[in-house]
Amino acid sequence: MTTANPRRSTHPHVAVVGATGAVGVEFLQVLEQRNFPLSSIRLLASPRSAGKTMKFRGQDLTVEALTDKSFDGIDIALFSAGGSISKQYGPLAVAAGAIVVDNSSAFRMTAEVPLVVPEVNPEHIGNIGLKPGQKAGIIANPNCSTILMVTAMTALHRAAGIKRLVISTYQAASGAGAQAMEELRQQTQDVLDGKEAKPVIFKQQYAFNLFSHNAPIMGNGYNEEEMKMVKETHKIWGQDSLPEAARTQITATCIRVPIMRAHAESVNATFEKPMTEEAAKALLAKAPGVSIIDDREANRFPMPLDAQHQDDIYVGRIRRDISQPEGKGIDLFLCGDQIRKGAALNAVQIAELLLAK
Amino acid sequence: MTTANPRRSTHPHVAVVGATGAVGVEFLQVLEQRNFPLSSIRLLASPRSAGKTMKFRGQDLTVEALTDKSFDGIDIALFSAGGSISKQYGPLAVAAGAIVVDNSSAFRMTAEVPLVVPEVNPEHIGNIGLKPGQKAGIIANPNCSTILMVTAMTALHRAAGIKRLVISTYQAASGAGAQAMEELRQQTQDVLDGKEAKPVIFKQQYAFNLFSHNAPIMGNGYNEEEMKMVKETHKIWGQDSLPEAARTQITATCIRVPIMRAHAESVNATFEKPMTEEAAKALLAKAPGVSIIDDREANRFPMPLDAQHQDDIYVGRIRRDISQPEGKGIDLFLCGDQIRKGAALNAVQIAELLLAK
């Protein structure tokens, strides 16, 4: 590691935008747990949250209102405050010399913005970096469902080429924020008490119910969450410049289930080259960021409660897809913490990549 | 309708085996709601439940202990008391002259036993019937997940031939019985109260969690629930005599979610002949036992709460599968009441077919 610009490269000044949200809170925990070598941290949020205090490394930090001047002296800004905040303040942060790691969807599909899962495509960061000669810029954090899936499936894709994916998700409340988690808790208590559930964040009752993901439906009948999985995966796997037919063909059905904070996905993959069950297991066992829970005798496979508050994506039910010729298809089931690897952890890992460059 | 044997054919004597279970209770409700023209009803259960009273058409009926003599004078016996009870008492009931409609898996794959969804393959009942010249015998009720799926997909299959199905399920507590529903309720209250969840029926915490279906895993890595969907669908669609490669190729991943009594399924279908989104919607709109909830603008699609206590299978998210060439694939999402169409209603509909023959 060079020390040409020691302040920026070894102990950056960090800002967290959206510090009081579910992902913001997790940013602080992940930075602390991973002992991220920062010089200072600035907590930014809406004026409504300004003045609140949050603990970081034993100290009480005061949340500041986000303004145009918030990024003076900041090296890395971790954004998780929604797309419109990112669109407005992301470029300002970059203009102030910061590298933005953005958890919103605002810039994910922008051609010059890398969309990065550190275990998968760290090289996409390119010339963005903290050292002299490297540039400031925006790096986008993919959608949670995409992160979970590509973290697990990339090893298989690289080995045998995934031609087609059929995905069904089981998504937790946390993807819609801390209030959605509280809504699930409150509604569940109300239903158990024989009262009526009162939907606020979601239009339908969430307690003891499930429904198609609340993202808007697009012209093709897919919702935005599903199309993120399609398009973001193509970009992360470097397929966005390929002709349509040469990309991995992906269909997804995204469903919200009454779970607090870890998503699950049922994934069916069709391969270009032969992929056996044994090979898939061996590849997944070595894949970074992946843990296998696959005990057929004990009927023990990944569950949201396994993944909750954990870094890894848990994969199980790994088996030959019997609906396709031997070696052609694999079915599996995965779980991952939506707030952690699906958001905060992945962004902090990107910041760690910047330090290591 | 002939009256050659009026007692048996128009007002049969009915027995319900497993009357006090979740499906048993539903049998009584469905028989009552549909005004099933029975002459008498006998409620049978384990000695433990004998002596309990249950309401039917305003009358208190006493539950009797199931014995070898329970089927004397019975025309139709509705069984839902588990596979071993069906294996032991089903043949005794037939020997006593009754037609058994069996909700267990005991006889589903027996070659000479019809496996029937009335909207799909009523003709499989063959010569079993209540009239002179017709015979007593066992008719099997398919597994709940299979019933829901084939009720919805048969219209599409008949129109364009389904080559392959990729299914992921979201299965309710009720599939494991009334005690499992109570376990979900109790655990959820415990978790909300900050107490530890106590798994009894299932090995893992069920509250705010989901897990791979608890059915045993077979040699090929699929669990029995998944293989039921594969094999029962082949039998219902009359493909069990076809060579393996000529059948619909099916893969399923069955997951238990914290929902009380309606299952959901995400279904991806590949067709032999062209099937457009419009054609699929038109076929489903006319399909018996199917209702469409598919409002893209309002983001309103089938949910377990829609299906709960309802007869129909609710289908939505009907769209062209963008991972396949136009006209080749359809994605959809369905919900159906597991206890009702998935069990009791389907069996009573079979009994109604016997009356109408």
CA distance B145 to chain A (A): 16
Tell me which residues of chain B, numbers 155 to 184, contact chain A at a CB-CB cutoff of 8 Å: 164-166, 168, 170
Do residue B329 and residue A268 have CB atoms under 8 angstroms apart?
no
Please provide the DSSP assignment of A121-172 as one string: -GGGGTTB-SSTTSB-EEEEPPPHHHHHHHHHHHHHHHHH-EEEEEEEEEB-
**Which residue ranges in chain B fall short of pLDDT 70?**
1-9
Chain A, chain B: beta-carbon pairs less than 8 Å apart: 172
Q: Does B239 touch chain A (CB under 8 A)?
A: no
Q: Does B250 touch chain A (CB under 8 A)?
A: yes
Q: Which of B164, B304, B323 sits opposite A250 (nearest CB)?
A: B323
Q: How far apart are CA A280 and CA A274, in angstroms?
A: 10
Do residue B209 and residue A258 have CB atoms under 8 angstroms apart?
no
Q: Does A45 touch chain B (CB under 8 A)?
A: no
Q: Chain A residues with CB inside 8 Å of B168's CB? A: 168, 253, 266
Residue B312: exposure state from Cβ atoms within 10 A (0-12, 13-18, ≥19): buried
Of B216, B229, B255, nearest to A296 by C-alpha is: B216
Name the residue type at position B338: Q
pLDDT per position as a tens digit, A293-304: 999 999 999 999
Q: Does B209 touch chain A (CB under 8 A)?
A: yes
Q: Chain B residues with CB inside 8 Å of A259's CB? A: 208-210, 258
Q: Does A239 touch chain B (CB under 8 A)?
A: no
pLDDT band at A8 (very low <50, low <70, confident <90, very high): low
Give Cβ neighbours of residue B160 (< 8 Å, ≥ 6 apart).
Answer: B271, B272, B273, B274, B275, B279
Q: Is the pLDDT of residue A193 over 60?
A: yes
> What pLDDT does residue A7 have?
45
- Helices A178-192 and A22-33: angle between axes, nearest 10 degrees: 110
Do residue B209 and residue A170 have CB atoms under 8 angstroms apart?
no
Q: pLDDT averaged over chain B?
A: 96
Q: Which of A220, A249, A277 sits opposite B319 (nearest CB)?
A: A220
Catalytic status, residue A263: yes
Asked whether A232 and A143 are in contact (CB, 8 A), the reply is yes
Q: Which of A166, A258, A319 sits opposite B222 (nearest CB)?
A: A319
Q: The tokens of B2 are what?
A: 């002939």
List beta partners, residue B264. B170, B335
Best of B202, B229, B299, B338 to disrupt the A interface by mutation (most A CBs within 10 Å)?
A: B299
> What pLDDT does residue A167 have?
99
Mean local confidence (pLDDT), A133-141: 96
CATH homologous superfamily for the domain B6-141:
NAD(P)-binding Rossmann-like Domain (3.40.50.720)
Looking at B213, B234, B263, B335, which residue is catalytic? B263
List beta partners, residue A141. none
Asked whether A259 and A304 are in contact (CB, 8 A), the reply is yes
Longest CA span, chain A: 65
Q: Does A206 touch chain B (CB under 8 A)?
A: no
Mean local confidence (pLDDT), A14-22: 97
pLDDT band at A287 (very low <50, low <70, confident <90, very high): very high
Q: Which of B168, B222, B319 sits opposite A266 (nearest CB)?
A: B168
Q: Is the pLDDT of residue A4 over 70?
A: no
Q: How far apart are CA B327 and CA B272, in angstroms?
A: 10
Q: Chain B residues with CB inside 8 Å of A320's CB? A: 220-221
Q: Is the pLDDT of residue A285 over 70?
A: yes
Q: The tokens of B74 are what?
A: 């019975």
Best of B253, B260, B300, B332 to disrupt the A interface by mutation (most A CBs within 10 Å)?
A: B253
SS3 at position B156 = helix
Q: Is the pLDDT of residue A182 over 50?
A: yes
> What pLDDT does residue B357 have?
83
> What pLDDT does residue A10 have?
82
Asked whether A43 and A19 are in contact (CB, 8 A), the reply is yes
Q: Chain B residues with CB inside 8 Å of A217's CB? A: 296-297, 299
Q: Which of A216, A296, A303 sits opposite B299 (nearest CB)?
A: A216
CA distance A12 to chain B (A): 39
Tell me which residues of chain B, numbers 270 to 309, contact chain A at a CB-CB cutoff of 8 Å: 277, 296-301, 303-305
- Element at A268 (helix H, strand E): strand A262-271
Mean local confidence (pLDDT), A199-209: 97
Mean local confidence (pLDDT), A153-161: 98
> What pLDDT does residue A9 have?
62
> What pLDDT does residue B304 have?
98
Q: Chain B residues with CB inside 8 Å of A297's CB? A: 217
CA distance B212 to chain A (A): 7
- What are residue B288's phi and psi, to 5 degrees? -65, 140
C-alpha B10, offset from chain centre: 25
> What pLDDT does residue A6 have?
42
pLDDT per position as a tens digit, A248-267: 999 999 999 999 999 999 99
Looking at B13, B144, B213, B234, which residue is catalytic? B144
Q: Which of A166, A185, A212 sits opposite B323 (nearest CB)?
A: A166
Topology (CATH) of A145-338: Dihydrodipicolinate Reductase; domain 2 (3.30.360)
Do residue B329 and residue A170 have CB atoms under 8 angstroms apart?
no
Catalytic status, residue A144: yes
Q: Chain B residues with CB inside 8 Å of A261's CB? A: none
- Domain ranges in chain A? 6-141, 145-338
Do residue B259 and residue A259 have CB atoms under 8 angstroms apart?
no
Output the pTM of the full model. Answer: 0.96
> What pLDDT does residue A3 have?
32
Task: For chain A, give the percent of residues with pLDDT over 70.
Answer: 97
Name the residue type at position A352: E
Asked whether B97 and B106 are in contact (CB, 8 A), the reply is no
Alpha helices, DSSP H only, in chain B? 6-10, 22-33, 83-95, 144-160, 178-192, 224-236, 277-286, 304-307, 345-356
Residue of A nearest to B322 (CA): A251
Asked whether A192 and A277 are in contact (CB, 8 A), the reply is no
